[in-house]
Each structure stands twice: as structure tokens, then as C-alpha cells.
A and B are shown apart, each in its own frame.
Chain A
Amino acid sequence: MVITEAKYIFKDKTSENESVKATIDGQVMSVPMDTGNRHYAEILKQVADGDITIAEAD
């Protein structure tokens, strides 16, 4: 997967991260922070490998 952008999204009415808005293979996606989700697992892998970083939520 080619991940070109990743940014945390807050849970509604909180300042707690709920998901990651990411562009994967050219497609914008809302990726839940669930390690069983294949997109989130890949984001974590690429973060661990130092390939990408996840921007803080607004």
C-alpha cells in the first residue's frame, strides 16, 4: 500500500483519537484504530519502519 497522507481524527466532542484519515493508493479513507483492520495494521507498520508519520488531529 502506498500511503501518502495520514492524520488522526478526534472522537466526536472529545480530544481522543478515534481514527486516521489517510490517503492510501490514491484513495482517501477513514481508517479505524483497530489492529485487526488491514489498513491500520499497514499504517502502524509503515510508521514503525519510519516511512510515514501520522499528523495530530485538529
Chain B
Amino acid sequence: MATNIVGATGIDKVQDGIIVNADIDTVAASKLTGALPAISGASLTNIPAANITGTLPAISAANLTAIPAANITGTLPAISGANLTGISSQGRNLFINGGFDVWQRGTSLVAATSYLADRWWNSTTETQTRQTFTVGQTDVPHNPTYYHRGSSGSTEWYGLKQCIEDVGITAGREVTLSYWAKGSSAFTNAPFRGQNFGSGGSSEVNAALSTASITTSWARYTHTFTWPSISGKTVGAGSFIRINLIRAQVNNVTIDLANCQLEFGDTATDFEQRTYGEELALCQRYYEDFPGTIQGGADTTGINMYMHIPYKVTKRVTPTITYGTLYQTIINSSVHGFGVRRSGGEAYINDAKSDAEL
């Protein structure tokens, strides 16, 4: 068999059995046999779209870069947020002062049913105090500054709750309650939830949540549940939900509580740490104090003196005003502030407090 062909047309040169130059118009498909050499697509240009047929292989998006936004058109597929990380979600904690940072009323109160730590109602007769974490402790993460301590009496129900405005916000939605707690003795916590439909509204709906076995060491406890729908209910002014976060029948037990959170969803995320200023402003919608004395007008007999005291934060409703000394009458109260009138002397008030709590 010839191994070299020399010619001017057709296959014009074969050297050592290899075609080194050719002018071939048509090759019958049946003549193309054997293994084709691997080829690179690098030199393929201007391939008509009509010639790209068949099933394309699956490709990764890893090599797609610099795609012009204008070329991303059509309907995007639905995506889950499950893989989105590092996105800050401000305001996810429905509790206000969940970290017990704000104590406008003081830091210790003995044997009284009342508010002490802002927004937290002590619903039984106990001693409440603000406690300070040791700097650098790691029992409760993220370095909270304070925690709440309640000391129960003998054989009684200990209760600490928070009411949250607007029964509609959580209706029909799943939420997760989380908190850090410990006791001087182990006890069972039986938190409670309630939906209050406000003035003239439907009767309150409430139910117990799952229980938690609180130990003598700091630990985080969670309760996930779904609020009932409010379909068919009548909602009046001042509606709210309430969480009786600690509810336990105990006997001389000291109960410590920190970093409480109520959030949408079935997962307890890290405690949301707002700044002190943000937390204080949120609290002041419900309570604001005016330590010291406020006085105005001339100390003159025979005429009426007036002064107006504005609030730093608009209140939830027109608040109750309490005071130490008052000359003479509270007037013109609103959600924005209040006035003091005195007939025949300077208007004067000290140790004033405004209370618009639920």
C-alpha cells in the first residue's frame, strides 16, 4: 500500500499514511469511522443556533460571571430563605426590655405586685431585684449586663409576665419563646399565653404552654407554639397578647431570668441585642419618669401659672400621672405631655411619673 501520495487536486499529499493536505467536498458518513480525536470548543465560533440541537448537558453556574442584569429576565424561581445567613433582622424580638437593661422605676422592690423592670409585670407578691452578671462570664452568651431576680415566698405561685400591644400581630402565627433561667432549687415552669381583645372586645383566650424543668444552672429554654386565629373576634382599643413567662408553684425559690425573646417562627435565634437608647425609647412608650423637680412661672399671688411638660416619646394612651408633690392640678393630659396649673404661685411638681402600661 502506498504511504505517500503527491497530487494537485483532491487528496494531494499523504506522507507516512497521514493526510497533510486535502480539498475534500463531501465525505460519506459511512466512511467516518474509528475514534475521533478530542477537540476543544475554544475555536468554535459563530455556530448558528439552529445547529445546536439535542439535549444540552447540565452545567454549573460556577463559571458564569459578569452577566449583565438586563440579560436576567423572565420569572425567577421561588427561593427559600433557609440558606440566607448573616442578614440582620432588627426588631424580631417582640418583647421589650427582654434583656432587663432598662429599670426606670428602680432596681429593687420588696413584696409588691407591680412593674419594676420596664415592661415586666410581677404578678404575685415577691421581692424583685436587678442583678449584675460578672464581666466575662460565659454561662449566658453575648455578655448581657443584667438579669432579673425574683424571690418567691413559701408555697405560692410566682409569676412574671409581659403584655405586647395588638392582639392581631401574632394571630394564627407560629412563634418561639426563649429565655435563660435558673433557680436556687429546681422547679417546673409552666408558662401561659393570653389574647386580650381590649376594651369592649371578645373575652380573653388563654392556654398553658409546654412546661420546662428549670435547674440550678443557667440554661436556655424554648417553647414553640401557634397563636389562635382571631377570626370572628371583636377587637377593641388596647388589645394585647400576654406571655406569663415564669409561672411556677414554688416554695422559697429564687428565680433568675435573662435574655427573654419572643419571635416568629419555629426556631430560637440568638437574642437580639438592641442598644440601650433603642430599648429605653421603646419602654418610654409605656412609662416615663421625671426625676427631680419641675417648676415654672412666677411665685406671684392672684394669678394662674401654667407649665407644660412634654414626653420624650409619644405614649400608648393618655397616661396616669403620679407625683411626690404637686402645686396644684394636672391639666391637659394627652399622649404627648401634660400640664400643671397653679392659682396664686409657681406651678410645681416633683418626682413625676407617667404610666401608659397595658
Residues of A within 8 A of B (CB): 9, 11-12, 18-19, 21, 25, 27-32, 34-41
Within the complex, which residue of A12, A36, A37 is in contact with B341, where a contact is CB–CB below 8 Å?
A12
Q: Which of A11, A35, A39 contacts B320 (CB 8 A)?
A: A39
Pick from B238, B322, B329: contact of A27, CB under 8 Å: B322
Contact A29/B321 with A35-B237, A41-B199 known, Cβ cut-off 8 Å: yes
* A37 contacts B321, C-beta separation under 8 Å: no
A37 and B356 within 8 A (CB): yes
Partner of A12, one of B319, B321, B326, B331: B331
Residue of B whose beta carbon sits closest to that of A44: B199
Q: A37-B356, A39-B355 are in contact. Are A19 and B317 (CB under 8 A)?
A: no
Mark out the residues of chain B between 324 and 358 whose CB falls within 8 Å of any chain A CB in the assembled complex: 326, 329-333, 338-339, 341, 355-358
In B300-318, the 8 Å CB interface with A consists of: 316-318
How far does the alpha carbon of A40 sit from the alpha carbon of B317 in the complex, in Å? 11
Q: Is the CB of A34 within 8 A of B318?
A: yes
Known pairs A28-B323, A30-B330, A34-B318 / 14 extra A-B pairs, C-beta < 8 Å: A12-B332, A18-B332, A21-B330, A29-B322, A32-B318, A32-B320, A36-B238, A36-B316, A37-B317, A37-B318, A37-B319, A38-B320, A40-B320, A41-B238
Q: A36-B199, A36-B238 are in contact. Are A31 and B332 (CB under 8 A)?
A: no
Is there contact, CB below 8 Å, between B330 and A36?
Answer: no
Cβ contact within 8 Å between B237 and A37? no
- CA of A36 to CA of B333 in the docked complex: distance in angstroms? 14
Alpha-carbon separation in the docked complex, A27 to B326 (Å)? 13
Find chain B residues with CB under 8 A from A39 CB. Answer: 320, 355
In Å, the complex CA distance between A39 and B354 comes to 12
Contacts of B329 in A (CB 8 A): 9
Asked if B319 contacts A32 (CB within 8 A), the reply is yes
Q: Complex: how many Å from CA A40 to CA B121? A: 18
Cα distance A53–B237 in the bound complex, in angstroms: 25
Chain A residues whose CB sits within 8 angstroms of the CB of B356 once the complex forms: 37
User: Could you write out 9 A-B pairs with CB less than 8 Å apart?
Assistant: A12-B332, A18-B332, A27-B322, A30-B323, A32-B317, A36-B198, A36-B318, A37-B320, A40-B320
When distances are taken between beta carbons in the complex, the residues of chain B under 8 Å from A9 are 329-331
Closest residue of A by beta carbon distance from B237: A36
Cα–Cα distance between A19 and B319 once the two chains are bound (Å): 11
Q: Which residues of A contact B357 (CB under 8 A)?
A: 38
B114: chain A residues within 8 A (beta carbon): 25
Q: B323 — which chain A residues lie within 8 A by C-beta?
A: 28, 30
Q: Which of A18, A27, A35, A36 contacts B331 (CB 8 A)?
A: A18
B333 touches A32 (CB 8 A): yes
- Contact across chains for B322 and A34 when beta carbons are under 8 A apart: no
Q: Which of B326, B333, B341 has the most CB of A within 10 A?
A: B333
Chain A, residue nearest B340 (CB): A30
Distance between A34 CB and nearest chain B CB, rounded to angstroms: 4
Q: Once the chains bind, are A29 and B320 in contact (CB under 8 Å)? A: yes
A53 to chain B, nearest CB (A): 19
| Contact status B317-A36, CB under 8 Å | yes
Give chain A nearest CB distance to B298 CB in angstroms. Answer: 19
Q: Are A35 and B238 in contact (CB under 8 A)?
A: yes
CA distance A8 to B341 in the complex (A): 16
How many whole Å from B19's CB to the nearest CB in chain A?
A: 97
